[in-house]
Amino acid sequence: MGMLLKLSRMIDRLTRLVGQTLIWLILAATLISAANAIARKLFNVGSNAFLEIQWYLFAAVFMLGAGYAFLQNAHVRIDVLANKLSKRTRTLIDIGGILFFLLPMCYLLSVFAWPVLTSAYETGEMSSNAGGLIRWPLFALVPAGFALLALQGISELFKRIAYLAGAGPDPLAHEPDAHAAPPAVTQDTTENAPGEARK
């Protein structure tokens, strides 16, 4: 179990690095959007490449950030139902979801996306818009994103198995220090001297 948790921590570090890097893509998309708008309004100059690079950056954040959302437990849940279940039951449901839905979906979508990516790369497929961008980097985001999501799914699977075995913390806890030992409560038993006011 220790080896599985060590591998899980390595995957988590990779996912966290990717997630923190994607923040800068959002900034880049914002700056490009502002520059494009200013150039169009002030100088009547437009660029389809500027427009498309914004879509590419958004697609990168969306596709490559799915694993980070899973790591942060920020993905969509039906809380009305989930909150009525015990932690063990929710963990078992998560394990089933990862094994029978998430990992097969990531595999199938990556397999289906690969021929589209290779075809676009080999033919040098370009955007149909004048001055548009080459398409294969955009298509590459699909298998890359699902590969990262599958990796994080494996990490989450290991954490949930460890939790059920009593070898790890609850992976569904939202707070990072939810399993830290509560601070020791110390009680001052020193008696006040006669005539001394109690503070």
Tens of pLDDT along the chain (199 residues) come to 889 999 999 999 999 999 999 999 999 999 999 998 898 888 888 788 989 999 999 999 999 999 999 999 887 776 667 778 888 998 999 999 999 999 999 999 999 999 999 999 999 999 988 888 999 999 999 999 999 999 999 999 999 999 999 988 888 775 444 333 444 444 444 444 444 444 4
Torsion angle defined by CA atoms of residues 16, 22, 24 and 29, in that order, rounded to the nearest 10 degrees: -170
- What does pTM read for this prediction? 0.81
Residue 77 CA to residue 193 CA, distance in Å, equals 58
Quick check: helix, strand or coil at residue 134?
A: strand
Buried b (16+ CB within 10 A) or exposed e, 63-85: bbbbbbbbbeeeeeeeeeeeeee
